[in-house]
Structure 1
């Protein structure tokens, strides 16, 4: 038996072609939550799993996050039968005397995140959530929001949450200290890098929080702000620039680059396209924007992303806790409903009336200096060669940010046992061990540069071991060059792309000197040693490590690394099964000239923006 898509994905069988289809999809995603609302309507508790914040905040998360979709639905004239339930919840959750009170904010707090959706709702549909409330409930709600906004918000995209609350308070005629609004707007501008790119705080990472947070909230502000024309114009100009780059994080089938944290928010990644429409910003032709938006929703429609009760799971393409962050509660995945922002637009908006256009990607590499990536498009996939990012603060941060390569079709894997070197997947990575049990992979970079379509980084897996890595696109393949300097002997394992594994070990694979290949009915993955003496191994990874497929096989190269300096050169590829893949397999690239690479970076190397803040420990 396989999963039942009728119960394990509320979007299954929805064609997702029209505005009506999108409305239907939203309702189908919300309805499974109804049995989990508390008696007083203020809390939604979906299971017993915990996040680092308290249970009341997690219950508020379950209550508030659906509003990112429900509010646009109502603003656009769509029917929703449960606004009385939400009014009851708002009244009880902000009443200190009610047993379902959400708890008082007294410092940086998860409640600040969730109150943003409430502020957005008060701004968009005050006639549904504010005007009908009795005066006491209005007073409690206003007092709760005003109290929370006095405290420091996290130094990243969180600063937008106070601004969204302020938009709601303003719309509902509540007085508040506007100097705090202006302060955060100015601080958010400090995260702007140029050419449309932000960073999410003063950190060495540039991920999906840029489209689905920084630009998403900025475009909402651009649509709803009053009397801030200069900043509105800047937000729109930045988003228009950004669209030309971020489109390359999507493949022609609608999949997005699996990279970074918070991927359990799933189709929130498509929220940027909807936010462009919401702000009436034709950054690309409307048909292109609509195509990216609709294809992304359709990409998710056949994945087992929900439990059997229809509630979205923590995970990515299937339920998977290994990839989660400490701030993921059972309600966290409902930030996915940010994708439904265009439902606020009337049916005759050019976004909705446009005919979908294909992405029209060319297959030549696309360098992106700010995130430190070189993008490679192929049918149904986009690959990012990557250097310059890191995240030490979160579980599996190394796998989420510091691999050499990421993909929309093949995702990436998280390791589940740091004391089992022989069992590591190591897809898109080079793992080194000095005892055969523990291992080190790239976690941080001392330097990271981009030159033309190539990347270079220097990193230290131990204080006395230095690795330099060059990444070079090569049509269907990409090439990795590693120069390793070590005072002692090591063992290395380097992985290609993970593809879905057949049951009963019925995989078609090749293990041989210098090469490993894995074939399935749908995909082919290969890794080839172009320099060095390594053995190929098509490794059956531990289950539930990869974000896309719950069981995978990963071609690897393995071998000893002597003390001194060793140069390893690797070619890797993965492609949809077929004649093009088989032809590519027979024509791997040649090893590049290392001296020529060094000369290229000496002449044209530019620092990757992501690395250009002080390292934090």
Structure 2
């Protein structure tokens, strides 16, 4: 698409992003409580209490409203948020949020309030009465004293400190300095952080660790630390650009996907902190393309409120900390609205995504990213990531592949293959009813497009898995040592089944499906499994409500075995190819030969 053709489309430039903020916030206005201290968007099913949930809904829109005000754009309802802040922090008011305490959700939401004090004090602080300022200051100063979780949460009191400093309220800066020191201990090199002492390397690195670090770099008073934050972010940008297709679609991976376009907030944060990690026109393109893609997704309800889910309303995939206001974390993407129109980021003409290598291995994250179909499709291969705490953590981290075209699926049970929705993983069963996929990989490595990890679904079953990036294919090899008989099922990608396939082909060693919604093939390279098409339960896939998963199935006796397969997912067939008929076997993509794969695997035996 020519750049000039984007004029007037959603997310085409600064003024349009300003309108998007206004449009996203407008449905919230009738939802204020009578005392204005809370926003009531629906019933809360998160693990934290109702007051915290309603504070969350109140605070998260400020991630977009504060930059909007800082950039000089008008907003007609600042009086609501100003009165709400005064009410929510007043212990004598019916809408009082309650005090912040250690590792409490209220601390999360103080970050947006801190940023608003720092960027737009004239809207939310200056008009307050003396008593109102006292109660707001006391509530926030207490928040700086509590204990955050040992991860990106350490930034929340730092954000509060930036706001208090802007409005002249003293606070415990030494505590925040210690938190910043701890955050820097999570530096992994090459621009990567871990989100605390964990295995996760997901969107919390760009939209939390780097995002807050870049805000601090721009607004803090520690030049040496600010320079380190900027340098790490500039380095990280070189890797992170591989997570997006040429059309702006980001790989769905990990938890908190309901924050949606927060995944592109990093690009705007670079601009906010003045970090030209990539040419400004390229950075701008990464942000705007992602926002345009999200503008076309059915992610809002009939009242215009953002829903819990990813590609559509999907509460089933949510985490235990997702309440009705949680999706408004997405407003982080609008941070560059705080910059003046003449800033180089806004003055630049948006550029197309640059050409990138077909394979990019990122060992700090334990992933390899493949660019397929001239960059229109990105597949992330993953090994070693694990999250036993988050709901559906195995599906969100430990599947073998995550796709910008086919997404990934979360289980709706474990008794049947269709319940497990075992796309992009190997599932094992003793009885054919209860299935165990890869959940907790360990001893992982990633080098030159080859990933390796071990996992032990039972005490007497040990599996080594190799993943090999050979775009547009990827190859999976599993060495299985088992003390029990096992049934196996290994899925390819999950294909949207709302339009019927133009052709299918299943049989010994193969499961193939071609439809207008995508072509997907899984070929058995070990010659011991049967192909099938598994119709997954609805609501399991993050992109498509109803999917079919090409799958290989087989049985293993006790002993040592090697399973190997090749998987491909591409843009679907056109009407021209439909004439080949639903059972046509000709014209399917040819998988890579085993002879080209074996040298890449090191000690793995030949199937």
Normalising by structure 2, we get a TM-score of 0.94
| Cα pair distance change 1:229/1:362, threshold 3 Å | closer
The DSSP-based 3-state class of the residue aligned with 1:116 is: helix
User: Within 2, Cα distance between the matches of 1:173 and 1:244?
Assistant: 38
- Is 1:599 equivalent to 2:602 in the alignment? yes
* Partner residue, 1:499: 495
| Cα pair distance change 1:129/1:27, threshold 3 Å | same
Among 88, 108, 123, the residue aligned to 2:83 = 88
Contact 2:501 2:515 in 1 (8 A): no
After superposition, residues 154-233 of structure 1 pair within 5 angstroms as 154-226=149-221, 228-233=222-227
| Cα pair distance change 1:592/1:372, threshold 3 Å | farther
* Partner residue, 1:108: 103
* Partner residue, 2:515: 520
* Partner residue, 1:358: 352
Contact 1:531 1:591 in 2 (8 A): no
* Partner residue, 2:367: 373
| Cα pair distance change 1:592/1:315, threshold 3 Å | farther
The DSSP-based 3-state class of the residue aligned with 2:525 is: strand
Contact 2:534 2:548 in 1 (8 A): yes
What runs of 5+ residues in structure 1 fail to find an aligned partner? 1-12, 603-617
| Cα pair distance change 1:465/1:232, threshold 3 Å | same
Contact 1:421 1:433 in 2 (8 A): no
User: Within 1, Cα distance between the matches of 2:599 and 2:295?
Assistant: 46
Among 247, 251, 271, the residue aligned to 1:253 = 247
| Cα pair distance change 1:386/1:487, threshold 3 Å | same
User: Within 2, Cα distance between the matches of 1:49 and 1:56?
Assistant: 10
The 4+ residue runs of structure 1 with deviation greater than 4 A are 578-584, 592-595
- Is 1:234 equivalent to 2:228 in the alignment? yes
Q: Which moved more, 1:530-539 or 1:107-116?
A: 530-539
* Partner residue, 1:50: 45
* Partner residue, 2:312: 318
* Partner residue, 1:590: 593
The DSSP-based 3-state class of the residue aligned with 1:542 is: coil
Contact 2:35 2:84 in 1 (8 A): yes
User: Within 2, Cα distance between the matches of 1:48 and 1:507?
Assistant: 43
Contact 2:418 2:534 in 1 (8 A): no
User: Within 2, Cα distance between the matches of 1:592 and 1:335?
Assistant: 48
Shift of 1:577: 2.2
Among 455, 461, 471, the residue aligned to 2:457 = 461
* Partner residue, 1:267: 261
* Partner residue, 1:572: 567
Contact 1:361 1:377 in 2 (8 A): no
* Partner residue, 2:439: 443
* Partner residue, 2:4: none
* Partner residue, 1:243: 237
Greater relative contact order structure (CA < 8 Å, 6+ sep): 1
Shift of 1:457: 1.0
Contact 2:430 2:487 in 1 (8 A): yes
Contact 1:445 1:459 in 2 (8 A): yes
User: Within 1, Cα distance between the matches of 2:312 and 2:367?
Assistant: 27
Shift of 1:584: 8.2
User: Within 2, Cα distance between the matches of 1:542 and 1:383?
Assistant: 23
Shift of 1:204: 1.1
Shift of 1:394: 1.3
The CA RMSD over aligned residues, in Å, is 1.9
| Cα pair distance change 1:438/1:128, threshold 3 Å | same
Among 394, 400, 403, the residue aligned to 2:399 = 403
* Partner residue, 1:23: 18
* Partner residue, 1:412: 408
Shift of 1:108: 1.7
| Cα pair distance change 1:293/1:584, threshold 3 Å | farther
What runs of 5+ residues in structure 2 fail to find an aligned partner? 1-7, 578-584
Residue by residue, what CA displacement relative to the aligned partner does 1:445-492 show, whole Å, maximum 9, x if unpaired? 231112322011111111110111111112211100111111121000
Residue by residue, what CA displacement relative to the aligned partner does 1:375-398 show, whole Å, maximum 9, x if unpaired? 101232210111010000111000
The DSSP-based 3-state class of the residue aligned with 2:298 is: coil
Normalising by structure 1, we get a TM-score of 0.92
Among 324, 332, 338, the residue aligned to 1:338 = 332
